[in-house]
Structures are given as structure tokens and as C-alpha cells.
Structure 1
């Protein structure tokens, strides 16, 4: 299980790192792991964690015992976590020189754990490699800045900026509104540069104090790691400036939701050329198959893009989010947009993933749907011209319960991702939803308390 980790050892020594955060992503995208002194980390070259960590819900609970023991060893055995030398980042906000190292998970025989989100993405990428293809992705992360709020019963409010005033109204692409939080974003950019994150542009999105960070296009696994780290970084930068950053899909009533749009393309490993464009620059059959696969299989994998009950609030009518898997050229009102570009950069933008999605699973699902469409030679529907919000032929499941049922019944998901992963994922999300149903909402108290 162990290697020499010489590259990692040199990096830790050069950066005078005294402490290492050993991380894995659980199904919800939460960082789990251990914090270790550097000497101990290098001596052990990894860590062990209970495999049950991967079945923990966002509330810290676990699935029912019957499901738990169907999926895991009854002895609650450990998994072996091995550091990836290509997934090492500084922790710039730490008081002592600290690194965060993302680990891969294996069983005691050295086999990848099939419940690990990072391993799921690796499994999908291996499908492309077997075809001599390489996917290229460019994620766009939306999020809100809000006042810090210790009481979850109170609605969130926009934070106070440099001017001493809260933002009012919607300020899409406003430079001045973005500059209200310059000190925060200066820290964020400095920290991301120290970590080697490939950030591109920062814009003010449509919502009040809603922002978007775009990442440069590149390798899917590396960018999933970067998003995993960026979300921690953004939250820490906000806290330093006494505000909060949230990646909830729909944190504020009456405001647009937050998405993680994914631009994706595929190149031939032999030539480096895009397989999505013909020699004359037109869309290739493989590209149309990729879109057809997204259209057919996104409804079966939707919980990987919209993992929480809150995620589906983003898909309500008139919320500026696509509610179907229609496609169109340079059309932001459909779920699958084909931006105008030169042939080498021919791509599709999947606009359905929420900012709350686990980046490993969202990228895996988006690339898997497109891959299956390519190998099955699927044909997409006719592209939408004009407004696509009202199109109802290719609608998505409307609730988390419906989406989980679709995923549970999907033969495609089981064929490519195995039997255990979808069963575990659905079980975790159902446990979370059961927890949600036990909480009485402010809407119920406001309208039902004295009226029914």
C-alpha cells in the first residue's frame, strides 16, 4: 500500500509544513478525515478511516441498520486512505504552516472503494481513456455572500459592504457591487493563488450579493479537487471578513438559485483534436451523441446534480434556472447550452448541477451521461430556438423523492457505477430527507398555526 512519497515529502519540507489535514470527500462533498503532524503523516503514508464515513449524512446521521449492514461489513472495518501527490494544497488561513492532502480510498486488498466519490469520477474517466478520449471541463461556481446568522429560523440577509450599506436589488455583472467586497476577494484570490487553483474570472451574478467564480478548463479530476478545496477556501475567506459564503442551491427566498455550470468537451488523445467537431467545423456525430446521452440519462442521475431537498427549489418556475434537458445554440434558457466557439473548443454547457452538488459526483455523472450517449450513438432532440423554460417534453423529476426513484431504477447507473454505489447514495439521501420531514417550517407556523 505504501510508496516512497518523495515528491510529497520534498514539497512539505520546502513549505515548512508542520501539520497535514488528511481529507476524503463523503457523498455530500463534506471533507472528512484526520489532522496529523507532518512527521507522523510521512511515517504512516496515509490513514485509516471507518468505511462507514462514506455513508454519513449531511446531518451527521447514518442510514438505517438494515441498509447499513447490507452495504457495509458488520464489523465496521477500516478503509485504507492513500495520499494523492497530485492533490496537495496549502491551507493559507491556518496559523501554523499546514497542508491539506486529498486521499484515495482502498479496501485491505488494495481495491478502490466503490462508495468513494473520487473513485467514482476516476471510474468514469477510465471509460474515456479506454476509448482514447480525454474529457476537458470548465466549471463555474455560483455562491451567495450573506450576513452571519446564528439562528437558522431567521431568513438570510445580504451583508454590509465597504460603503456601510447592504446591497439592494439585483446587480448582474456590476463592477461596483463586486467591489463592495474587495478586501474579501483579495484574500480569496491570494489564498487560491497560494494553493494553485486555476481561477479565471469573478463576476457578480443576478441575485443580491450573489457571485460567480469561473475556473479555467482542464482535467476533470484535478478540477473536482480544486472545487472541493475552493469551497472551503471561500467560506474561510468570508468568515475572516465577518460574513458568510454559502453554496446552498437556493438560500434566499425570491432570489435566483446558485448553480455549478459545467462546460465539457472531449479530445482525441492521439491527435489532441476535439472529437466534437468535423473537419468543416460542424457538429460531429459524437457530439450529437454526447448531447443525446445527457438528455436521456440526466433524469436518471439527477440526484448527483441536485442532491438535497433545497436543490429542487432552484428548479421552480421563474427562478432563472433551466427545468428541462432541452438543448440549443447559445441559449441560456435550456439545460444544455452549446456556446458559440471555434471547432476545437466545441462544447456543451450543462446548466443543471447545483452549487451544492458534490463536485466529484456531478462531474462524473455529467461525463458519464455524455459518454453513454456517444457509445450508444444516441440522437438529441431538435435544438430549441428562443425561450426554453416552458418546454415540457423533456422535463426533470420535480422532487427529490421522484429523482431518487429514477436513479434507483436506472439500469445504466448500475451497469457503469456498480450495484453498491447507487444503493448507498439513495439510502443516504433518503435518510437526510426523512430528517428534513421531521422539522416544522416557518411557513407551516405562519399559515397553519392559527388558521386550520
Structure 2
């Protein structure tokens, strides 16, 4: 706390946003005066914070939580403190971990789930290194949810109507927005790297520098918040929906990952630079546990529109080298930077949970010495679809995966499934425009 106190005084901060990433990946918490924050002996919030659906409802199955709505003890992570660059007054933001009264981590908090997986790696002397790639769309403001989304109007006065993959000029159409975005990222020490235009209309991708998994998850969490705020300041929306527009590609969060040993050597490479057995075991773990992990990589009903109808989304469990049609890709690289790219997660996934599941899957593959299928060398995008078709189907697979339940935490998995089943039920109650158009007078 002394480090935080010194930092707050140095920055002349008047307020502190105490952030807790929830199950969806949004910021919950409290905003309090800096003077009170420094005097506070421990902020508290109810554990039910992690048991709320995206619509603000509560699951029908509540047996895995304390119905007395007991408080958690929140402790700030000093490494996560940053300024809120768009605030009018000097305002700090700091991400908190959540604890029980006995000092143990709250096991259903997303940050705790990732920490649990990283502890398993640490016991083996391994350190995961990750780098997320996060796609998103800029869209015109949409005040009527029944009206389809449209690309925003750029500097030339026109919305995009054609595919503009990797176009510099198309990115420059929104230069003022992205200049502010980069300034905000710099002020928050977010290690964003390359910005490119993806294949969708006003669809962008930001790449992060590789680093510590928890820190990268924090950065992805803060980046989403930053882009939404920047877009609003420029009178447009930024959305991380997996499939926001019917005829445009979906948005993903690809996760690159490698593992270092205690000597900081990449265990995916042998001494002579060849691919190690650990690399193949890691791939096999992803192949075995991805079907159950899809419930977390694709956490919303909209997510499956990306997987089933997206132009570049993976459709099966194939793996390959320098092949973007597979779900598990080994990018072309030297032995020191050899890594695995998981292409299943949508941009709508909670970054903490997505990283926890991909690392848990690879871990289980390595410790159990699983063997992958034969490497795919051709275009697999037209191969049969073998992933879950709906959130409901994916949740059944997760519920029946004893290995993932054990490594992620049984209470967390049970709570997550209860939340998502409630969301699916709420969604299924909505009568869509398609039903009104084709069924109203025809059945």
C-alpha cells in the first residue's frame, strides 16, 4: 500500500476507481476519494458480483453461492495502478483481487481462476508467455436495438462498403480516433503494438506485446474499456461482439502462447532448435479440451454465429504450421520464439478466463503426455464443422469435463454454467424479427 500511496500523492489523484473484472469481463467496483482510499483498511463488495448475468439477472441454480450475500475483502494489485487518462480530474484506476476472510482467493473471480492455473505452471518451474490479438468493430451509434449495425462514416464522408484488409488508408479514415486511443494507451502503459485493418467494414485488430499472462489479461481488460470510451468521444461505438453484422466477418481474440523453463528457455524447442515433445503435447491438450473450453472461448449466444458463419473462424480441431485455416496454429518463427496460437476465442471472451482455459488445456496435454493428430497441411476451412453449435451444447461439454472442472475450480465452473444457462434462457424468450417476418402470416 505504501507504493500505491506514494504513487497517488505523486500524481495528485483526487479519486480512485477500484476495479474488479466480472464474469463477462466488464469493470465492477467503486469510485472513492483518494483520501478515503488511503485510509481504508480493506474495501468490501458482495460475492454475488460474480453471479450476475449480462442482463443483470440471477441464475435459477444458486446452490454454489452463499445466499446471505457475504462480503469479499478486496485488495489492490500495486502493479495494476494507472491513471484514467480521459478523466477531467486526476483519477487513478487499480484492479483488485478478491479474498475470503481467511486470506484465500475468491475462487469464482476470473482473476483468481487465471492465478490458479498460473500457480500450476509455477510448481513445474514453467512460466507462460502470452500475446493476445484483439479484433473489434467501429460502428455508427445504434439507439434502436432492432436496427442492424452499420459501419461509421470516416473522414471522407462515406461509410466503408468494400473489404479493406490491411488497408492503411482505411485506418487513416479514423485517424483522430486512433490517435486519441494510442495516447490513452500510452498513459496507461498498455503495451499495444500493431494496429491493422481487418477484413470487415471498419473492423480493426490490435496486437499486444508478449508478456506475463496476468498482466496481458489486465491490459486486454483495460484496452476494451479504453477503446469504448475513445469511440464514444468521437460519436461512434466500438464493439467486441463476436459477430456484430450479418454479412461481415466475426471478431476474435487470438492468443499466442509459449512456455519458459526456470532458465528462461522456450520448452517448445529442443537444444538443436527442433520442435520439442512438449510442443506436441501442448497442441494435443488444446485439441482434447477445446470442445469443452468453447463455452468460455465463445461465452455468448452471438459467439456461435462467428464460429459457424464467420469467414475466418476455425471450424474444427485441426492444427498446422503457418496455416490460418486451422484453429491451432504454429506461426513461422525461430526456435526461441516458437509458440502456439489459439484461434478459437472470440473478442467477446473474458480475457482472464480465455487465457486460463487455453493454458489449462496445454498444461493438461503436457503433464499427461497427450499426442496430437497428424498436422494439417491443406485448407481446412471447408472441412466438416466439429465444434459445439450453440452455447447450450458447449455448456454440456464443459459440465462433463472432469479435468477442466478440477483445474479451473469446480465451484467456478458450476457458477459459470448456471450464469450462462440463465443468459441462454433469457435470449430464447425473445421473439426475433426473423420469426415475425417469416412465421407471422405463413404458418
2:269 paired with 1:277: yes
Structure 2 residue runs without a partner (length 5+): none
TM-score by length of 2: 0.99
Structure 1 residue 449, shift from structure 2 partner: 1.7
CA–CA separation in structure 2 for the residues paired with 1:252 and 1:89: 34
Give the aligned partner of residue 388 of structure 1.
380
Following superposition of structure 1 onto structure 2, how do residues 422-433 of structure 1 map, counting pairs within 5 Å? 422-433=413-424
2:396 paired with 1:402: no
2:19 paired with 1:26: no
Find the partner of 1:14 among 10, 13, 23: 10
Give the aligned partner of residue 144 of structure 1.
137
Which stretch has the larger CA shift, 442-451 or 162-171? 442-451
Q: Are the aligned partners of 2:250 and 2:310 in contact in 1 as well (CA < 8 Å)?
A: no
Structure 1 residue 283, shift from structure 2 partner: 1.0
- CA deviation digits over 1:115-139, x for unaligned, max 9? 0000000000011100001000010
Give the aligned partner of residue 112 of structure 2.
119
Give the aligned partner of residue 329 of structure 2.
337
Following superposition of structure 1 onto structure 2, how do residues 317-396 of structure 1 map, counting pairs within 5 Å? 317=309, 319-392=311-384, 395-396=386-387
CA–CA separation in structure 1 for the residues paired with 2:183 and 2:406: 43
Give the aligned partner of residue 92 of structure 1.
85
Give the aligned partner of residue 304 of structure 2.
312
Q: Are the aligned partners of 2:320 and 2:377 in contact in 1 as well (CA < 8 Å)?
A: yes
Find the partner of 2:76 among 73, 80, 83: 83
Q: Are the aligned partners of 2:111 and 2:352 in contact in 1 as well (CA < 8 Å)?
A: yes
2:420 paired with 1:448: no
Moved over 6 A (4+): none
- CA deviation digits over 1:340-394, x for unaligned, max 9? 10001010100000000000000000001001100000111111111011334x8
Give the aligned partner of residue 193 of structure 2.
200
Give the aligned partner of residue 131 of structure 1.
124
TM-score by length of 1: 0.97
Give the aligned partner of residue 46 of structure 2.
50
**SS of the residue 2:183 aligns to:** helix
Q: Are the aligned partners of 1:45 and 1:82 in contact in 2 as well (CA < 8 Å)?
A: no
Structure 1 residue 441, shift from structure 2 partner: 1.0
**SS of the residue 1:71 aligns to:** coil
CA–CA separation in structure 2 for the residues paired with 1:370 and 1:421: 20
Q: Are the aligned partners of 1:259 and 1:353 in contact in 2 as well (CA < 8 Å)?
A: yes
2:229 paired with 1:236: yes
Structure 1 residue 264, shift from structure 2 partner: 0.4
**SS of the residue 2:79 aligns to:** strand
CA–CA separation in structure 2 for the residues paired with 1:34 and 1:235: 20
CA–CA separation in structure 2 for the residues paired with 1:21 and 1:358: 20
Find the partner of 1:286 among 278, 281, 290: 278
**SS of the residue 1:316 aligns to:** helix
Q: Are the aligned partners of 1:46 and 1:83 in contact in 2 as well (CA < 8 Å)?
A: no
1:354 and 1:82, CA in 2 relative to 1: closer, same or farther beyond 3 A? same
Give the RMSD, CA atoms, in angstroms: 1.0
**SS of the residue 2:78 aligns to:** strand
CA–CA separation in structure 2 for the residues paired with 1:415 and 1:277: 29
Structure 1 residue 20, shift from structure 2 partner: 0.6
- CA deviation digits over 1:302-340, x for unaligned, max 9? 111000000000011462211112100000001001001
- CA deviation digits over 1:58-107, x for unaligned, max 9? 0011112xx22x11222111111110001112111111111111000011
Structure 1 residue 418, shift from structure 2 partner: 2.4
2:186 paired with 1:190: no
- CA deviation digits over 1:129-182, x for unaligned, max 9? 000010000100000000001110000000011111111111000000000000
Q: Are the aligned partners of 1:171 and 1:206 in contact in 2 as well (CA < 8 Å)?
A: yes
CA–CA separation in structure 1 for the residues paired with 2:400 and 2:92: 41
Give the aligned partner of residue 57 of structure 2.
61
- CA deviation digits over 1:208-232, x for unaligned, max 9? 0000000000000000000110000
Find the partner of 1:226 among 214, 219, 230: 219
- CA deviation digits over 1:249-274, x for unaligned, max 9? 000011000000000000112x1110
